[in-house]
Chains A and B, each alone.
Chain A
Amino acid sequence: MERTISFTLNGKPASVKGEDDRMLLWVLRSDLGLTGTKFGCGEGLCGACTVIVNREAVRSCSVPVKDVAGKQVMTIEGLGQSGLHTIQAAFVKHHAFQCGYCTPGMILNAYALLLKTPKPTPGQITKHMEDNLCRCGAHTRIVDAIAEAAGAGRGGVR
């Protein structure tokens, strides 16, 4: 159905006009110009398109824009708008990325984890991140970065 959908995007009001069953990923990328959210698989299998909706990590390639009407949406561009967020800083410090394509999704999925579980164990981090795919193999550094961002020990090891 064609209509206008309004929601909060990175703390500011946003609205888009069009078919309301279009996936949030494409609305973010091509209607709203926020290209930090990536297309990787289109079926919610890789996590590159992860964004935060009302404090939960969701796969924006599989969420129709009508589902976020009236909700709070945050993309990578909305994180650390006044200086790097702790998670971003930890990713920089640990070099917890290579090609960087999965990185926004990794960081936002980690953000959702730390909202719920501020002090996750490495096992909890691994479990939470399991379905975010990284082809370059930065996994252990990503876990280390998240652990450090959580202040869960190991800080300063590397």
Chain B
Amino acid sequence: MKPADGTETGARALTGQVGAFTEPLPHGRGSDQSHDRKGGVAGLSRRELFDLAGPGLFLCFGVDWLAAQEPARLPARQGYPTDLNAYLRIAPDGRVTCFAGKVELGQGAMTVLAQILAEELDVAYDQVDMVLGDTGLCPYDMGTFGSMNVRFFGPALRGAGAEARTILLQMAGEQLHAPVARLQVKGGLVTDPATPGKSVTYGQLVQGKPIQLRHLQAAPVKPVGGYTVVGHAAPRKDALDKVTGKAKYAGDFTLPGLLHARLVRPPAHGAKFQDADTSAAEKAGARVIRDGGFIAVLHDRPDLADRALGLVKARFERPGPTMDDKTIFDHLLKTAPPLRDAGSSGDLAEGEKTSAAIVEQTYLNSYVAHAPMEPHSATATVENGKATVWASTQTPFSLRQQVAQAIGLAPEHVRIITPYVGGGFGGKSSGGQAIEAARLAKATGKPVQVVWSRAEEFFYDTFRPAAVVKIRSGLTSAGKIAFWDYKVYGAGEREAKPYYDIPHQRTLSAGGWQGGNPPGMNLSAVGPWRAPSVNTNTFARESHMDALAAKAGMDPLEFRLKNLSDARMRRVLEAVAKQFGWKAAKTPSGRGAGVACGIYSDAYTATMAEVAVDPKTGHVQVKRVVSALDVGLVINPDGLRQQMEGCIAMGLGYALTEEVHFKDGEVLDRNFDSYQIPRFSWMPRVETILIDNPGMAAVGGGEPPIITVGAVIANAIYDAAGVRLRQLPMTPARVLEALKKG
């Protein structure tokens, strides 16, 4: 059961937290977006401001509403354009079209960005239409990943909206012969209260043309306290399309003469193409395109292309990788590049001297697939030296470059259109299918569609890397962490450095999802997977913290708090404990309760879970999860809860079942029979807590709550059964094995 929410969800839940947290907190680490600035309304107390604003407006903001969410006016950051017309267009009827290089993966970009623009421009949320991920229409964007939409694009869009509003009000003042200061605007209608009946709409002012830029003294953004759209739930912009089947994905586009392509694939990673006989496929009516090992069969029906592919006889040489899903961990240790320092302080030897006990452990996780429900899909047409590609991608702008290069066109002659994307999770940062479709469209002179089969999806996925984490640590007799020596192989260093108070510590990292791995270290390409690096590092650190707590004979929450002075982390832990009804106990207590916390891109999260372990089967049922998240200002409370719930559900997979099986370079998982993703019956009761922190600029929320899921379940299993699982996923077989060993 979720807390009763509806459109008032956030407000109510936030109100519940207000009393506890009335002071702005330090903004944590490296927050270049944080603003303590008291500004705006000189000489007024908060009380007076509250009265001016009228009742109700500020109720859900318990913190410092004077701290404006002030962005740099139009930050040049991340290559965003500085002309506001790149972001918005106002039609004569007053409808506003918002252009963003982000894409809608399901995370709600379409909704949250419309809210931000509507707020700053003073138009109704319903007046805003969104155009996303179209390189022909939208401002450049690096890509939709890393929870950067609200955090980095948000300020750019807000700045554009504020500048547009300032200019529009000046234009309105000129037209209405009224000083700008006297004007009021609501829903894009500008009125002059001094002369009732006089008004002009944004649509009338602009008449469908770009807004003429002006030299402005300032284009102030709204203070948080003035928000009426941001901070509230909003109906998702994509809802009607998605429940009626009208939502179009890249594989839903059709063009006259469209050919569906299936490609000849190697049976294993490392396999080398020798030769192929395509005559039977051609005889069956398929068109065949060959360019070395790039062999495609094309047909005007997708299933008949698939049948034709089955008729191709291709030979490959197989000198493939020799490691498998069991030997991968030793292999990683042998092949990883040298460890690099990712943050050290103090003196480990000194820490050892002050230690009353040493705890040393190794934590493992296998490769994990993205497995979005929509496989990589693309529809491409190349005509008259120009290419248009509809693609399921998280990175339309870099895909444009790749497609241009692949088919020998200038990037400005390639347009990538990103329709709805059926899930990405980092896996659609690579766009091989779009390049294939474009190459084939060029070669055939016809529009071509490429949709990967589920087996191709698993084979070409850029897995979350398999990883090994080794931690050696010491405890003082007073229950403090004396030293911490942390080595991560394969996953990457993000958020590997602990936020606990540890006088002597070292964090080392070798290889990772972002590259720098020697050839042959991994089975195939690895890449970003929802909260890259951080699921691995959080699982290891938070499991190990629990092991230390047990060693110290302390309650795991109490142990964390005793070693923690980071105020934001303490706050999320305290909030989650209160909602969960955490009762301090030494573990294992038999109750099956666990705690874990973590940081991701300046978002703080803490999670508590309750599990039941079946001693006969080793099956773990997660019964309840309470998740608290501090992302600073909450733009859309219901949208954020959707992301939190999604993170918890998806996290159950990497925690309990998801691992890629492979041998001799072959990916043995080819579909959802052997690769098990979470299902309805796995779902725990989920409660989500949004920490009230509007004084801090919003950071992303689509990834943080997933980082704790592995550890919180491992810790709850330990509390339930007294066994510690140090390898993900915690399958029934591994749980049984651990129970046997005791």
Measured in the bound complex, the distance between the Cα atoms of B243 and A95 in whole Å is 10
Measured in the bound complex, the distance between the Cα atoms of B240 and A12 in whole Å is 23
The contact of B245 among A75, A95, A132, A139, by CB within 8 Å, is A75
**Nearest CB on A from B381, distance (A):** 17
A39-B375 in contact (CB<8A): yes
Chain A proximity mask over B444-457: 1 for CB below 8 Å, otherwise 0 = 00000001011000
**Nearest CB on B from A40, distance (A):** 5
A95-B642 in contact (CB<8A): yes
B638-A133 in contact (CB<8A): no
B240-A77 in contact (CB<8A): no
A135-B372 in contact (CB<8A): yes
Q: Which residue of A lies closest to B420 (CB)?
A: A100
Measured in the bound complex, the distance between the Cα atoms of B106 and A154 in whole Å is 25
In the assembled complex, B588 has its CB within 8 A of some CB on chain A: no
In the assembled complex, A22 has its CB within 8 A of some CB on chain B: yes
In the assembled complex, A120 has its CB within 8 A of some CB on chain B: no
A158-B373 in contact (CB<8A): no
Which of B244, B246, B375 neighbours the largest number of chain A CB atoms within 10 Å of its CB? Answer: B244
A80-B239 in contact (CB<8A): no
Measured in the bound complex, the distance between the Cα atoms of B638 and A29 in whole Å is 34
Which A116-149 residues have C-beta < 8 A from chain B? Answer: 125-127, 129-143
**Nearest CB on B from A145, distance (A):** 10
**Nearest CB on B from A54, distance (A):** 20
**Nearest CB on A from B261, distance (A):** 13
B645-A138 in contact (CB<8A): yes
Which A60-102 residues have C-beta < 8 A from chain B? Answer: 75-77, 79-80, 84, 88, 91-92, 95, 97-102
The contact of A158 among B6, B453, B647, by CB within 8 Å, is B6
The contact of B679 among A22, A33, A40, A130, by CB within 8 Å, is A130
The contact of A48 among B304, B373, B451, by CB within 8 Å, is B373
In the assembled complex, B293 has its CB within 8 A of some CB on chain A: no
Measured in the bound complex, the distance between the Cα atoms of B300 and A143 in whole Å is 39
B303-A22 in contact (CB<8A): yes
Q: Which residue of A lies closest to B236 (CB)?
A: A95
In the assembled complex, A157 has its CB within 8 A of some CB on chain B: yes
In the assembled complex, A35 has its CB within 8 A of some CB on chain B: yes
**Nearest CB on A from B16, distance (A):** 17
Which B623-682 residues have C-beta < 8 A from chain A? Answer: 638, 642, 645-650, 671-673, 677-681
B421-A95 in contact (CB<8A): no
A41-B248 in contact (CB<8A): no
**Nearest CB on B from A22, distance (A):** 6
**Nearest CB on B from A37, distance (A):** 7
In the assembled complex, B298 has its CB within 8 A of some CB on chain A: no
A135-B650 in contact (CB<8A): yes
Contacts of B680 in A (CB 8 A): 125-127, 129-130, 132, 139, 142-143
In the assembled complex, B62 has its CB within 8 A of some CB on chain A: no
A137-B374 in contact (CB<8A): no
B245-A101 in contact (CB<8A): no
A92-B239 in contact (CB<8A): yes
Count, chain A residues at interface, CB 8 A: 62
Which B230-246 residues have C-beta < 8 A from chain A? Answer: 235-236, 238-246
A40-B107 in contact (CB<8A): no
Measured in the bound complex, the distance between the Cα atoms of B94 and A128 in whole Å is 46
The contact of A45 among B301, B423, B650, B673, by CB within 8 Å, is B673
Chain B proximity mask over A7-19: 1 for CB below 8 Å, otherwise 0 = 0000000000011
Q: A138-B642, A140-B683, A158-B5 are in contact. Are A41 and B671 (CB under 8 A)?
A: yes
B673-A100 in contact (CB<8A): no
Interface of A: prevailing SS: loop
In the assembled complex, B302 has its CB within 8 A of some CB on chain A: yes
A99-B375 in contact (CB<8A): no
Measured in the bound complex, the distance between the Cα atoms of B304 and A33 in whole Å is 16
Measured in the bound complex, the distance between the Cα atoms of B420 and A42 in whole Å is 21
Measured in the bound complex, the distance between the Cα atoms of B2 and A77 in whole Å is 31
In the assembled complex, B113 has its CB within 8 A of some CB on chain A: no
Q: Which residue of A lies closest to B683 (CB)?
A: A139
In the assembled complex, B276 has its CB within 8 A of some CB on chain A: no
Q: Which residue of A lies closest to B9 (CB)?
A: A158
B371-A135 in contact (CB<8A): yes
**Nearest CB on A from B480, distance (A):** 38
Contacts of B678 in A (CB 8 A): 137, 139
A135-B677 in contact (CB<8A): yes
Chain A proximity mask over B102-126: 1 for CB below 8 Å, otherwise 0 = 0001111000000000000000000
In the assembled complex, A114 has its CB within 8 A of some CB on chain B: no
B247-A100 in contact (CB<8A): yes
Q: A30-B301, A137-B649 are in contact. Are A43 and B671 (CB under 8 A)?
A: yes
Residues of B within 8 A of A (CB): 2, 4-6, 9, 105-108, 235-236, 238-249, 251-252, 254, 260, 300-304, 371-375, 420-423, 425, 451, 453-454, 638, 642, 645-650, 671-673, 677-681, 683, 686
- A sample of 17 more A-B contacts (CB under 8 A), given A23-B303, A43-B671, A91-B243, is A26-B303, A30-B260, A36-B246, A39-B375, A46-B373, A76-B245, A92-B235, A92-B243, A98-B642, A99-B420, A103-B242, A133-B679, A135-B372, A135-B425, A135-B677, A138-B649, A140-B686
A-B contact pairs, 20 of them (CB 8 A): A34-B245, A40-B373, A91-B242, A92-B243, A95-B239, A95-B638, A99-B422, A100-B238, A100-B420, A103-B247, A125-B680, A126-B681, A136-B423, A139-B678, A140-B649, A141-B645, A157-B6, A158-B2, A158-B4, A158-B6
Residues of A within 8 A of B (CB): 18-19, 22-23, 25-26, 29-31, 33-43, 45-46, 48, 75-77, 79-80, 84, 88, 91-92, 95, 97-104, 107, 125-127, 129-143, 157-158
